[in-house]
């Protein structure tokens, strides 16, 4: 054996060993132990031609007739198909692969099942507002049960992009601005999709978009990002690392270039961090044509070059560039790419197919799939999740409404009866015929008592006069106005530069308020809109991130008090769009704002020196409309006697904080308790607060409970000046509160 051969053999053995070792941590698999799986992978790989290997690395979008792809499938030129959900067609795809291709390797069928399959749950930003990972996991499990029954075994979810700029339309698809919350939601979704054990209902999760995509400059989708390594490691990467640890089988690279390097060709993030530091041996797929887009970025001259760059970065599968299938063979033959790199990619793909049991069970029972869709238990879970996802932002006491005192109910606004739009972005498979709108739910609850005058047909409509609706308002006991934005105004490629309510919605609310009748507003939207100017025109306001199939009944239950609101804002609400980005865990400036003079208070003749000297906007100050973690309830909660078990902790210790939480109001309710920590002095400046724990605590009216929370000191570690992650001893502050802007700090030391 010559030296090169030995080198290659050793590399292969090393790769095999690494794969076996890293797989041993995995949850039990009905398809065999980790070493057995690796042996199967190697057995299949050893029989494959170079062309067949490259075929596995090719993902295409279905469309039209199965016969369009039959030949390519037969020849083993396609490893995965996305966007087919018809079980009959999927079975036929699988039959061609399994029975007519040389090696019978089944197909991996992917789909964007982002917040439910048929039964649509609230958009992920709403899921995050529940602060309830267990419920979110349940929703992901339901999505997997419905989708896998039709043959979809891979979802491109969860999206773990931190989003701190609500102009970015895809803020709808993630958990918002906070690293800790995002990580907990990501883990929950991974567990839910993939299930407790690998079986026919397991759907591989795909964590995306790796990485930094949510930091698009100006909040404009696909725009460049300029995140430093420290910012990546402290803020943007932890949710991905947590989801990898939770067992996510696959990951998607993002569209953006960060500091000049497009993610799909980023050796540092994919190879060095994901593969080597974290030991990820799952499947890495590009985003749709993100390999090809490296040409537009100006990172590679042609498809051949970007295919090589993606492979070198450690990307296993090409979604829709046709770069691998067209060029890898010649790249190998010319020596520009080594077949060992291809082998590694194919191992990662085959492993997922084996884990999912596709070799044993490539087919689904199309008839059995139907009754699972929109099953009553699924709808019930969707309603409960929607109820928990709604945030009460204002209430002068009018809510909950009394059925007796609201004999005539005016329902108005463009979102009152918008069955498609309440589903939100990425509800490809949710059918509006199954949506229950607020109008339907209220009519069902109060037959004959609901008057419906939409006022505006759609949110962007402009109108001068609202005669019909104001006349109806005068005759009503209560006005329930549903405003916001349609699904199409958020999501991918749907960024906005203006976040006020669109069209004449604000004017509609002003007219309604002008009647003197009580106005209760519900906003349904894909992002936190700038609603400051609308608050004076309502007596109460519920914020519902597009709530999904069961949004209507959920809102009716909240309005009439069957359910007490418990959602909290997963993202800061701005007063005006010019404040973006504004998020609670910002670093401390050298000149923190201390409530200085605003423009309106400055004398016209004042000279430059009379202006403030701190970090704020002259016209809008430095504070948001509502802080992160904020949300009211129909009851009130009081925190008292906050105590730490010690004054000082070792770096490997655990902070135990206890406190009394009391339901001081007249209704049972659930509070989302939040614990924030600040590291006062670091080798680099640290955020003014970081969420380190949250939990839902339910208390009956008048009930008091002593609650104890444990924060491992290790959770306070960060990447400091020397680029390593550690806890830096020193002084810390801790808050226990119901939102990120409340509470009194208690101090402790880490030695």
Binding site for ligand NOJ (CB under 6 A): 112, 156, 208, 287-288, 492
CB of 172 to ligand NOJ, least distance (A): 12
- Cα 414 to Cα 456: distance, rounded to the nearest angstrom: 5
In the complex with ligand NOJ, which residue's Cβ is closer, 272 or 492? 492
Query: 496, 169 in Cβ contact below 8 A?
Result: yes
Q: If you count them, how many residues does the chain have?
A: 751
Distance CA 303, CA 327 (A): 8
Smallest distance, Å, CB 290 to ligand NOJ? 8
Kindly provide the b/e burial profile for residues 687-705, where b requires at least 16 CB atoms within 10 angstroms of the residue's own CB.
bbbbbbbbebbebeeeeee
Residues labelled as active-site residues: 287
For residue 506, give the 3-state DSSP assignment: helix
Distance CA 615, CA 621 (A): 9
Residue 112 vs 690, nearer CB to ligand NOJ? 112
Min CB(24)–ligand NOJ separation in Å:
30
Which residues 6+ apart lie within 8 Å of 643 measured at CB?
657, 658, 659, 746
Closer by beta carbon to ligand NOJ, 111 or else 689: 111
CB of 150 to ligand NOJ, least distance (A): 17
C-beta of 156 vs 168, nearer to ligand NOJ = 156
217 with 257: CB under 8 angstroms?
A: no
Residue nearest to ligand NOJ according to CB distances in the complex:
156
Picking from 545, 735, 708, 513, the residue whose alpha carbon sits closest to that of residue 631 is 545
- Helix (H/G/I), strand (E/B), else coil: 707: strand
Nearest distance, CB of residue 81 and ligand NOJ, angstroms: 12
- Indicate the SS3 state at residue 346: helix
Report the residue number, 293 or 728, with the smaller CB distance to ligand NOJ.
293
SS3 258: strand
Residue 290 or 569: the one with the smaller Cβ distance to ligand NOJ is: 290
* Nearer of residues 121 and 156 to ligand NOJ, judged by Cβ: 156
DSSP structure string for 134-190: HHHHHHHHHHHHHHHHTT--EE---B------TTSGGGGGS--S-HHHHHHHHHHHH
- Helices 323-333 and 339-355, interaxial angle, to 10°? 140
CA distance 166 to 163: 7
Which positions ≥6 away from 543 have C-beta within 8 Å?
A: 390, 391, 392, 393, 522, 523, 525, 528, 567, 569
Task: Say if CB 546 and CB 526 are below 8 A apart.
Answer: yes
The CB-of-610 to ligand NOJ minimum distance in angstroms stands at 49
- Using the minimum distance from each CB to ligand NOJ, give the nearer residue, 477 or 492: 492
- According to DSSP, residue 459 is labeled T
Quote the CA–CA distance of 130 and 717 in Å, as a whole number: 27
Q: Smallest distance, Å, CB 255 to ligand NOJ? A: 6
Contact criterion met (CB below 8 Å) for 540 and 167: no
The answer to whether the CB of 295 falls within 8 A of the CB of 34 is no
| CA gap 38, 44 in Å, rounded | 10
| Residues 567, 626 contacting (CB under 8 angstroms) | no
């Amino acid at each position: 054996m010559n030296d090169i051969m030995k080198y290659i053999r050793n590399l292969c053995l090393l790769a095999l060993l690494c794969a076996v070792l890293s797989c041993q941590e995995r949850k039990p698999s009905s398809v065999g132990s980790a070493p057995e799986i690796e042996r199967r992978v190697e057995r299949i790989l050893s029989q494959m031609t170079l062309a067949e290997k490259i075929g596995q690395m090719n993902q295409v979008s279905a469309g039209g007739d199965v016969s369009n792809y039959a030949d390519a499938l037969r020849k083993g030129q396609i490893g995965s198909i996305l966007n087919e959900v018809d079980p009959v067609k999927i079975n036929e795809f699988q039959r061609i692969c399994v029975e007519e291709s040389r090696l019978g390797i089944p197909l991996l069928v992917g789909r964007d099942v982002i917040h439910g399959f048929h039964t649509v749950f609230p958009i992920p930003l709403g899921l995050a507002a529940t602060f309830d990972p267990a419920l979110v996991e349940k929703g992901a499990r339901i999505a997997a049960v419905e989708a896998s029954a039709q043959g979809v075994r891979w979802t491109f979810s969860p999206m773990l992009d931190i989003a701190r700029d609500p102009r970015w339309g895809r803020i709808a698809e993630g958990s918002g601005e906070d690293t800790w919350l995002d990580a907990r939601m990501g883990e929950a979704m991974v567990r839910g999709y993939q299930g407790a054990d690998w079986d026919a209902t397991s759907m591989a999760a795909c964590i995306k978009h790796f990485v930094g995509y949510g930091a698009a400059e100006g909040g404009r989708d696909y725009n460049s990002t300029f995140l430093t390594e420290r910012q990546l490691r402290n803020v943007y990467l932890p949710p991905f690392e947590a989801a990898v640890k939770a067992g996510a089988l696959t990951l998607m690279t993002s569209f953006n270039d960060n500091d000049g390097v497009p993610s799909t060709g980023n050796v540092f993030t994919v190879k060095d961090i994901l593969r080597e530091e974290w030991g990820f041996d799952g499947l890495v797929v590009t985003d749709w044509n993100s390999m090809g887009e490296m040409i537009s970025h100006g990172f590679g001259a042609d498809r051949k070059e970007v295919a090589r760059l993606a492979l070198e970065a450690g990307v296993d599968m090409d979604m829709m560039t046709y770069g691998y299938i067209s060029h890898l063979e010649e790249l190998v033959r010319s020596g520009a790419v080594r077949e060992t790199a291809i082998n590694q990619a194919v191992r990662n793909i085959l492993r997922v197919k084996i884990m999912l049991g596709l070799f044993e069970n490539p087919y689904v029972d199309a008839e059995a799939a139907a009754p699972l869709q929109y099953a009553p238990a699924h709808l019930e879970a969707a309603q409960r999740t929607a109820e928990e996802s709604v945030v009460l932002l204002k209430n002068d006491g009018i809510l909950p409404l009394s059925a007796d005192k609201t004999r005539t109910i005016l329902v108005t606004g463009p979102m009152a009866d918008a069955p498609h739009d309440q589903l939100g972005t990425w509800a490809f498979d949710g059918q509006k015929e199954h949506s229950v709108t607020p109008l339907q739910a209220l009519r069902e609850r109060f037959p004959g008592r609901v008057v419906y005058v939409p006022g505006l047909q759609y949110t962007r409509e402009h109108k001068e006069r609202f005669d019909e609706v104001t006349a109806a308002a005068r005759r009503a006991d209560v006005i329930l106005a549903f405003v916001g934005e349609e699904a199409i105004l958020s999501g991918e490629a749907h960024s906005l530069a203006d976040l006020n309510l669109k069209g004449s919605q604000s004017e509609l609310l002003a007219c309604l308020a002008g009647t003197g009748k009580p106005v209760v507003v519900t906003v349904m939207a894909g992002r936190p809109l700038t609603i400051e100017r609308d608050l004076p025109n309502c007596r109460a306001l519920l914020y519902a991130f597009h709530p999904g199939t069961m949004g209507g009944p959920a809102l009716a239950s909240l309005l009439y008090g069957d359910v007490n609101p418990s959602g909290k804002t997963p993202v800061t609400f701005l007063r005006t769009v010019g404040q973006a980005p504004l998020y609670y865990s910002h670093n401390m400036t050298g000149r923190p704002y201390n409530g200085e003079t605003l423009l309106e208070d400055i004398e016209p003749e004042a000279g430059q020196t009379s202006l403030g000297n701190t970090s704020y906007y002259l016209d809008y100050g430095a504070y948001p409309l509502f802080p992160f973690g904020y949300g009211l309830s129909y009851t009130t909660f009081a925190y008292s006697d906050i105590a730490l078990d010690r004054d000082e902790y070792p770096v490997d210790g655990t902070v135990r904080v206890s406190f009394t939480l009391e339901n001081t109001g007249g209704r049972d309710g659930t509070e989302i308790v939040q614990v924030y920590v600040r590291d006062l002095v670091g080798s680099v400046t640290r955020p003014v607060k970081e969420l380190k724990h949250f939990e839902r605590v339910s208390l009956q009216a008048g009930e008091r409970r002593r609650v104890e929370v444990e924060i491992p000191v290790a959770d306070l570690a960060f990447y400091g000046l020397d680029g390593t992650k550690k806890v830096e001893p020193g002084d810390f502050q801790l808050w226990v509160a119901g939102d990120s802007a409340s509470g009194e700090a208690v101090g402790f030391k880490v030695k």
